[in-house]
């Protein structure tokens, strides 16, 4: 072997005993950098896919919740009850604190239910809109008001419709027999109106998005013929 080659081999062996050569270090660094880059890209892509799935999941449940709420309101029944002072009237009670009516689309089961949707205060001071229901059977006004007063409605099925709200207001659109015209009001009582409202608007703002949102629901059931109940079926 020529002297120059033998000398180069001896030098390489000497360097290899002391550590890695510069070329080996550069190659190792390049391989490591490529692996880190690929891992970062894979992680970023995974996070984007996860966020997309989460957003689609949240959107799906928001839409499903809205569709179910819309069905509940649209299936409201002009369930007539009687009081001595007011005679027969369709049961509906709507205020800023509670909406109560009878619906043919229950959360569970297949029987018509009395619905209570309450604007409730959370422990942290924020608001929630909570749905409760119980089978109506043949309950009269007194039994319904007793369930409302003593909180017996909480013994039935329930679901939180909206939570962590900063503000929530409800408006009702319906015919006013006193003024002989339809208008938006902050409350609606079937006892006084003798009709169900035509529209219910819910304006709310949650604490995360800080964006005001609106939901609009329609009630399609109106039976003007039932307004003659007081003449045909006097209740003593």
CA 9 to each of CA 6, 15, 21, 141: distance values in angstroms, whole numbers, following the listed order: 5, 10, 13, 104
User: How confident is the model at residue 24, as a pLDDT?
Assistant: 62
pLDDT the model gives residue 208: 76
8 A C-beta contact, residue 157 and residue 167 = no
Task: Express each pLDDT in 111-152 by its tens digit.
Answer: 999 999 999 999 998 999 999 999 998 899 999 999 999 999
CA–CA dist 80, 226 (Å, integer): 8
CA within 13 Å, CB half, 81: 23
Q: Which of 98-112, 165-179, 212-226 has the lowest mean pLDDT?
A: 212-226
143-198 pLDDT tens trace:
999 999 999 999 999 999 998 998 899 999 998 888 888 999 999 999 998 889 99
* Residues 230 and 88: beta-carbon distance below 8 Å: yes
Residue 25 DSSP SS3? helix
The per-residue pLDDT of the chain, averaged, comes to: 80
CA distance 115 to 5: 95
The model's confidence at residue 6, banded by pLDDT at 50, 70 and 90, is low
Instruction: Give the pLDDT of residue 14.
Output: 53
Burial of 87 (0-12, 13-18, 19+ CB in 10 A): middle
The two tokens of residue 118 are 């309450």
Contact predicate 131/158, CB 8 Å: yes
Whether 57 shows a pLDDT value over 50: the answer reads no
Q: Which two tokens stand for residue 205?
A: 């703002």
Contact present, 120 and 128 (Cβ < 8 Å) = yes
Query: Could you tell me what percent of the chain has a pLDDT over 90?
Result: 44
Region 63-78: what's the mean pLDDT? Answer: 86
């Amino acid at each position: 072997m020529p002297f120059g080659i033998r000398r180069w081999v001896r030098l390489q062996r000497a360097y290899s005993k002391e550590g890695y050569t510069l070329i080996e270090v550069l190659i190792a660094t390049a391989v490591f950098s490529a692996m880190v880059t690929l891992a970062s890209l894979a992680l970023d892509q995974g996070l984007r896919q996860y966020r997309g799935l989460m957003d689609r999941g949240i959107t799906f449940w928001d839409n499903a919740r809205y569709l179910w709420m819309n069905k509940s309101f649209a299936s409201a029944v002009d369930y007539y009850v009687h009081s001595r002072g007011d005679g027969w009237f369709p049961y509906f009670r709507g205020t800023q604190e509670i909406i109560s009516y009878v619906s043919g689309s229950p959360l569970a089961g297949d029987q018509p239910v009395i619905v209570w949707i309450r604007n409730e205060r959370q422990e942290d001071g924020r608001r929630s809109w909570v749905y409760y229901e119980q089978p109506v059977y043949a309950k009269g006004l007194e039994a319904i008001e007793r369930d409302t007063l003593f909180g017996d409605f909480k013994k039935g099925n329930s679901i939180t419709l909206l939570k962590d709200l900063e503000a929530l207001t409800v408006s009702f659109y319906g015919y006013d027999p006193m003024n002989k015209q339809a208008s938006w009001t902050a409350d609606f009582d079937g006892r006084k109106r003798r009709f169900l409202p035509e529209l219910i608007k819910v304006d709310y703002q949650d604490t995360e998005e800080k964006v005001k949102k609106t939901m609009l629901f329609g009630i399609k059931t109106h039976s003007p013929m039932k307004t003659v109940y007081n003449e045909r079926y006097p209740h003593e």
